[in-house]
Structure 1
């Protein structure tokens, strides 16, 4: 969410540099990612940015969803691997100290192979016609993060920063893939179940976007396997991850890189 991964970033909203809990992933056995066919973009209402580049009007999609990007098996396999690696708590000093309120658990790994596998599975095709300042999307940030929100945890209003990765590469979109939500509770004998709390259906944890006057623009409920992409940096909309009231919210996070 607010952390944009490897690289230099401005700390808007006074966000504190996070604890370094990055893990090496060379020996991690990630789920096999199947090719994604016929993926479709679902634009969120009132989140398009219209700019005029005479005589052409350019429409930049600030925020969109891709349903069923991960299969249920892929989502649950990522949860299982993440739980086996172990999460570290992430917090903040809160708004009174100039920081966005944050209370969740996090894992960070650097894995270019995993990033490429997800990008080439179908995500790259969705960005074929999207250009930002003359640059095109070339892949995902190899800095991969997993978030876990338990009951009572949330991430307050914040923006995500654009990050320079060197060699003219810069991140411009946040990628969130929900690994839980919108499905019935799993059976107790399901081997993919990482812990007892995941038996409960997820309630809460919506990602909410706000406009320039702090008015609600869009609200996205977590749904297992759904990808949510939104522009970040100077065009990033203020957003938050709302309180989880039941179950556990798991999220895969990376960034789309342009060059």
Structure 2
């Protein structure tokens, strides 16, 4: 994490952060975000979609709200295995802030079925995966929104990542929230269950993938160290 981001994060702990709708930290506009296509697929990553400061600020606010555990009946009951903690909020202001921070321009040339991107689903979800937790193979469905909009892309923003922070760490520290993340990769499969792409979480990086009828089977692998935090929404088109 850059020295400037570290200083901003320390200041955040000492005083209240500027918030959207009284809750979430302000997301700074980013210029010229780069969409990196993975292996000629409809999978894209955007490095540094959030700064380290912004990612940590989202984690802190989400933790202050409190997560609720989410499980499933499992594959034998027709559901993907799921074991994580979750927060879900309907917040059009947060959705607009994330969209206008640079994501809007990144989607200028992506037009599934000839439709143009119009914004994010205001249903914003935060996921927390502790050691031993994962989300098994599944697909994401499209959602119909107001004014004829429909979602076609999943947006995942990794709020924690696998790269250790700079500086010395205490090897005797057993607090998982202070440990670098290990595991938790997002893995995509083809129809024969061959691995198409394996995405390692990096702090502040966004991952976007086509969902609905053309969604690839994917999973969130088990976390083996640290805590994985993810912000989730969907890109809507009309």
**TM class, shorter-chain normalised?**
0.7 to 0.9
Q: CA shift at 1:73, angstroms?
A: 0.1
Instruction: Determine the structure 1 residue equivalent to 2:54.
Output: 74
Q: Deviation string for 1:193-220 (max 9, x for gaps)?
A: xx94211000000000000111110000
Instruction: Determine the structure 1 residue equivalent to 2:4.
Output: none
4+ runs of 1 displaced by more than 6 Å? none
1:252 and 2:231 matched: yes
More strand by share: 1
Instruction: Determine the structure 1 residue equivalent to 2:33.
Output: 39
Q: CA shift at 1:30, angstroms?
A: 1.0
1:229 and 2:229 matched: no
Q: CA shift at 1:152, angstroms?
A: 0.3
Instruction: Determine the structure 2 residue equivalent to 1:158.
Output: 138
Instruction: Determine the structure 2 residue equivalent to 1:50.
Output: none
Corresponding residue pairs, total: 215
In the aligned structure 2, how far is the partner of 1:65 from the partner of 1:187?
27
In the aligned structure 1, how far is the partner of 2:114 from the partner of 2:162?
38
Contact 2:84/2:133 (CA < 8 Å) preserved in 1? yes
Give me the TM-score of the superposition, normalised by structure 1: 0.80
Contact 1:103/1:154 (CA < 8 Å) preserved in 2? yes
Q: Which runs of 5+ in 2 are unaligned?
A: 1-18, 169-173
Secondary structure of 1:164 counterpart:
coil
Q: CA shift at 1:235, angstroms?
A: 0.5
Q: CA shift at 1:185, angstroms?
A: 4.6
The one of 185, 190, 195 equivalent to 1:206 is: 185
Contact 2:184/2:228 (CA < 8 Å) preserved in 1? yes
Instruction: Determine the structure 2 residue equivalent to 1:12.
Output: none
Q: Deviation string for 1:153-188 (max 9, x for gaps)?
A: 000000000000132110000000000013325889
Contact 1:185/1:199 (CA < 8 Å) preserved in 2? no
> 1:21-32 to 2 correspondence within 5 Å?
28-32=22-26
Instruction: Determine the structure 2 residue equivalent to 1:100.
Output: 80
Alpha carbons of 1:251 and 1:227: their partners in 2 closer, same or farther (altered >3 Å)? same
More helix by share: 2
In the aligned structure 2, how far is the partner of 1:187 from the partner of 1:29?
31
In the aligned structure 2, how far is the partner of 1:166 from the partner of 1:78?
27
1:175 and 2:169 matched: no
CA-based RMSD: 1.8
Q: Quick check: 32-41 or 230-239, which moved more?
A: 32-41
Q: CA shift at 1:134, angstroms?
A: 2.2
In the aligned structure 2, how far is the partner of 1:107 from the partner of 1:29?
13
Contact 1:185/1:200 (CA < 8 Å) preserved in 2? no
Instruction: Determine the structure 1 residue equivalent to 2:6.
Output: none
Contact 1:147/1:251 (CA < 8 Å) preserved in 2? yes
